Structure 1
Amino acid sequence: MLRRKRRPAPSLRSPAPGIGARALATVNSSRNSGARSPRSSGHCLCEGVRYEIAGELAQPIACHCTQCARTSGNFAAMAACRTVDLRLLSSSTLRWYRSSDKAERGFCSRCGSNLFWRAAPGSETFVAAGTLDPPTGLRLSKHIFVGSKSDFYDLTDGLPQEREG
């Protein structure tokens, strides 16, 4: 396999939209709830986008909104981190799609992997939990937008459910 020459790592700091105070509280409260300790890493399927997270990740949430279903093919398990803690190691294939007037999604333009979600304005980014390198040490914490979930599956894990986000 031919390896590309590494470029300097770009930053996600500018612009730095995120999901706001609610996610920041989630990240802060996760420190006492078994969230993975600092220094996580991950990548897309083709490894065109590689990243590391210097800070902590919140326990993932399962989002069942229509947009997550359309971009991932099912619900999306996403873990919040501080945008300043997220560093891209390679990103030549990373593209951002503005999926609404409030949010955008980062994906790999080569393999199509759904990687990131962020809202504007703010300082947090959600990372697709399935793109994290194992072991993650994370556990799904709740379901959101269950009022929009598809009809081909049931939620029977006993986790908290929110009709909206």
Structure 2
Amino acid sequence: MQTSIHTGGCQCGAIRYRVEGALEYPHLCHCRMCQKAAGNYFMPLGFAPGKMLTITRGEPGWFQSSDPVRRGFCRDCGTPLFFDTLQSDGMAVTLGSLDDPAAFPPVSQDGIETRMPFHAALGSLPGKNVDRDDLPGGIESIASTNHQHPDHDTELWCTS
């Protein structure tokens, strides 16, 4: 039997992790604590039970957001990575930090009592491609100077 491997990490590459097997209960959490931790309207999370999750590079920083929960993040770039319910056997990862975030579409929304009132209307907003004409050199100036870690494991990665 072959086990699926899913990798992920922070934006700068200082922290990398791997999950052996499928994440359980991929969901969007709209609670106010997750909103603050993500700096966003919600936080997408998926649970890696038992010993499925291994940190393969670096050491995350931790913030004890409540007595039962600590949150792991990269101290270098600030990327939120982990949601650790201390009495649980396993740990959740932020789905956006996966190298392939589309692998785990959400199956539920939690904390909907604090979900933004405009959330349901987001799909009807007009869309546009990013051209960044506000930057000298446009989107090419971002692409040609990208310091973000690629969406795959690397042998070495310079974070400076």
After TM superposition, what 4+ stretches of structure 1 lie above 6 angstroms from structure 2? none
Alpha-carbon distance between aligned partners in 2 of 1:99 and 1:53, rounded to the nearest angstrom: 24
**Residue 46 of structure 1 aligns to a residue in which SS?**
coil
Which residue of structure 1 lines up, in the alignment, with residue 56 of structure 2?
A: 89
Tell me the TM-score normalised to structure 1 length: 0.67
Alpha-carbon distance between aligned partners in 2 of 1:95 and 1:55, rounded to the nearest angstrom: 25
Preserved contact between residue 31 and residue 115 of structure 2 (Cα < 8 Å): yes
Which residue of structure 1 lines up, in the alignment, with residue 104 of structure 2?
A: 138
Tell me the TM-score normalised to structure 2 length: 0.69
Match of 1:115 among 81, 84, 96: 81
Deviations 1:105-130 (A, max 9, x none): 00001100000001121212110000
Preserved contact between residue 52 and residue 90 of structure 2 (Cα < 8 Å): no
> Alpha-carbon deviation of 1:136?
4.4
Match of 2:66 among 65, 83, 100: 100
Alpha-carbon distance between aligned partners in 2 of 1:155 and 1:79, rounded to the nearest angstrom: 24
Which residue of structure 2 lines up, in the alignment, with residue 25 of structure 1?
A: none
Letter in 2 for 1:73: G
Preserved contact between residue 10 and residue 81 of structure 2 (Cα < 8 Å): yes
> Alpha-carbon deviation of 1:152?
4.3
What are the equivalent positions in structure 2 for 1:126-165 lying under 5 Å apart?
126-134=92-100, 136-154=102-120
Alpha-carbon distance between aligned partners in 2 of 1:144 and 1:136, rounded to the nearest angstrom: 19
Residue correspondences, number: 120
* Alignment partner of 1:42 is 2:8: yes
> Alpha-carbon deviation of 1:140?
1.0
> Percent identity between the aligned chains?
28
Preserved contact between residue 40 and residue 133 of structure 1 (Cα < 8 Å): yes
Alpha-carbon distance between aligned partners in 1 of 2:49 and 2:12, rounded to the nearest angstrom: 25
> Alpha-carbon deviation of 1:153?
2.6
Preserved contact between residue 59 and residue 139 of structure 1 (Cα < 8 Å): no
Which residue of structure 2 lines up, in the alignment, with residue 62 of structure 1?
A: 28
Letter in 2 for 1:109: R
> Alpha-carbon deviation of 1:55?
2.4
Alpha-carbon distance between aligned partners in 1 of 2:22 and 2:28, rounded to the nearest angstrom: 18
> Alpha-carbon deviation of 1:101?
0.8
**Residue 122 of structure 1 aligns to a residue in which SS?**
coil
